[in-house]
Amino acid sequence: MLPHSLRLAPEEAPLFLVSTSSLPAAPHIGADEFTSAFENAAIGMAVVGLDSRRLRVNRAFCRMLGYAEDAMLTHTVEHITHPEDLGVDLAQRQLLLDGHKHTYEREKRYLRRDGTVVWGHLTCTLVRDSEGRPRHFISQVQDISERKAAEEACALAEERLRETQASLHIAAQIGRLGAWSYKAGAAHVTWSEEVCAIHEVRQGFAPTFQEALAFFAPQYRDRIERILQACLRSGTPFDVEAQIITAKGKQIWARVLGEAEWDAQGRVRQIQGACQDISDSLRAAEETRIMAEQLTTTLESLTDAFYTVDRNWRFTYVNAQGERLARRGRAELLGRRLLDVYPELAETSMVQQFSRAMEANVTVEFEEYFAPFDIWIQVKVFPSLQGLAIDVKDVTERVLAGREIMRLNAELEERVMQRTAQLAAANKELEAFSYSIAHDLRGPLSSIDGFSRILDESAGDGLGDRCRHYLSRIRAGVRQMGELTDGLLALANLSRTSLRRDEVDLSRLARQAVAACRERAPERHAEIAVEPNLFTCGDPRLLSQVIFNLMGNAWKFTARREHARIEIGSLPGEDEQTVFFVRDNGAGFDMAYASKMFEAFQRMHTASEFEGTGIGLAIVHKIVSRHGGRIWADAQVDRGANFYFTLGPGGDARAV
């Protein structure tokens, strides 16, 4: 508390004073002496009013926060206090105002003018008047930033040390590595926790020198004892591997290291060392060795040449087949650069392919002709961190065989084209000949039919029965010949007529064919079923011939059935293609002769059994083929026949 003689007037009473040392408690100090002590104090000081308005600050406090005095006087406590520390200050100030305490001290952070943080040790005292009413605060602030920085650095270092120790402990556990020591002449050897764990004894176990030796397998004990004695006598360091038998009888391999520590007289004071369980590493090394041997055996037995090169393009491995293909021994290749051995490769694309595999880290496969050896090779390149693995196969025979096959195929294709052209020309000539013959026959046939009819009419009753029979046979032969001629013309015209595709209602065509059949033989009774909505796509005129021919055959071959039945319909086929059918229960036929039924003039029945020319099914087959479809049949003698046909793409039925 300030002496009464130094108290400020009520309107000048500060709320808060910041300083780094306490004011001297002299009972009679004049205003000048107070001002001098206040201004020249080495620590920051401030007088602050109850309304947080700063009334006076000294130079040390201004320097500490980087403000001029007039600027400091315009800032409240809130402006220069770190936001996280402000709440504690306000709470402590309220305790002073409520009379719960006279002074409080704390460490807090201040905000400098440039925005940086400075740590200060604050001592804040509430000054009251003679009647006990609060007048202002006097505060002292000492800059402790360096100490706080040192404390933080120490704390960070301690934390890092703890983390390092923990990491080392974990590493020792993972690596099965522990420390041990033995003072010369001591009764016991000191083992760390890890060494105890390696020997499978309790933690803190301290064996005697001889007990420690007894853990080594019998064949190693004498050697280890000699090594330890040599280290105790002359300080010879050691690093040995030996078998250890643990307290639980487990055999392990351990690496034991040791070195001497000397006293002031130059004598070995103690041995310090480490012990590591290397069983896993030795086992892994042995497994790696076995795997390497197996890999080498595999690579040596390959029928492909196999090479590895490092990233400087030097050969690092060559198998036996690689020697044969390269036409050089391993001694000539290993350690040498690829282009130094085979400069000819620079003129091929192989080097670019190898570079792409290494730089882009991608597998590359290609075939190349290697002119110096006059061979074709198939190359597969596999990149790795070490370089490239290259598999090379001599494919000369395959390439030459492939070229020969291509030559033969081209020659065969040429022959096929020539033969096809010849067949097309022959077919065209044959069709033209058939058309010409059929067309030219119509005239003589008409004459024969006409004159025989006139002769029959003119002679009247003058002809005897035998003569009339002969005339009847002549006219029947003419009619049959006419039908054959018409069939030949129709068959020939199929190849000469262009094909058009429209929507065709096969159901309607079937009903028309049925009506035509009934009209020719109204006395017949037959059950005929036609599936409705058999729509397809094709040439309406040609498809009409298909339906009329198939329906006419079914009508003809059921003529001798008392209960004849004919069915026209469809069913689903392969690849969602519609199959149309005409089915009857008529005479049927022997399937042994079915392979020729669609050839011209081929008949399944004699003329005495059923009339016909043998051209109808040939016409049906040709029309279906021109539509991209196929036709087939199945039948049994006297059990009926089924004819099936498709019409190729776009010929599927649909419901309307």
Q: Is the pLDDT at 316 greater than 90, yes or no?
A: yes
Coil, helix or strand at residue 246: coil
Half-sphere exposure of 262 (CA within 13 A, CB side): 9
Band (25; pLDDT cuts 50, 70, 90): very low
> For the chain, what percent of residues have pLDDT higher than 90?
35
Band (435; pLDDT cuts 50, 70, 90): low
Q: Rounded to whole angstroms, how far apart are CA atoms 406 and 409?
A: 5
Residue labelled with tokens 């500490």: 64
- The pLDDT value given to residue 211: 94
* Nearest alpha-carbon partner for 240 in 263, 264, 220: 220
Q: Is the pLDDT at 517 greater than 80, yes or no?
A: yes
**Which of 236-240, 354-358, 428-432, 452-456 comes out lowest in average pLDDT?**
428-432
**Which of 63-77, 427-441, 492-506 comes out lowest in average pLDDT?**
427-441
Q: Rounded to whole angstroms, how far apart are CA atoms 522 and 515?
A: 10
- The pLDDT value given to residue 22: 41
Q: Is the pLDDT at 79 greater than 50, yes or no?
A: yes
Band (467; pLDDT cuts 50, 70, 90): confident
- The pLDDT value given to residue 165: 59
More confident position, 431 or 336: 336
User: Residue 556 has which token pair?
Assistant: 């003809």
CA angle 382, 387, 391 (to 5 degrees): 35
CA angle 133, 135, 139 (to 5 degrees): 130
Amino acid present at 192: S
* Nearest alpha-carbon partner for 2 in 108, 100, 140, 116: 140
Mean pLDDT over all residues of the chain?
Answer: 82
- The pLDDT value given to residue 433: 63
- The pLDDT value given to residue 21: 39
Q: Is the pLDDT at 152 greater than 90, yes or no?
A: no
pTM over the 0.95 mark: no
pLDDT tens-place string over residues 566-624: 999 999 887 778 999 999 998 888 787 676 777 765 655 555 555 655 677 888 888 88
- The pLDDT value given to residue 36: 77
Q: Rounded to whole angstroms, how far apart are CA atoms 324 and 321?
A: 5
Mean pLDDT, to the nearest integer, of 54-71? 89
- The pLDDT value given to residue 283: 86
Cα–Cα separations (whole angstroms), residue 124 to 107, 215, 291: 11, 70, 78
Residue labelled with tokens 């004892």: 225
Contact (CB, 8 A) for 284 and 277:
no
- The pLDDT value given to residue 40: 82
* Nearest alpha-carbon partner for 281 in 124, 148, 174: 174
Band (627; pLDDT cuts 50, 70, 90): confident
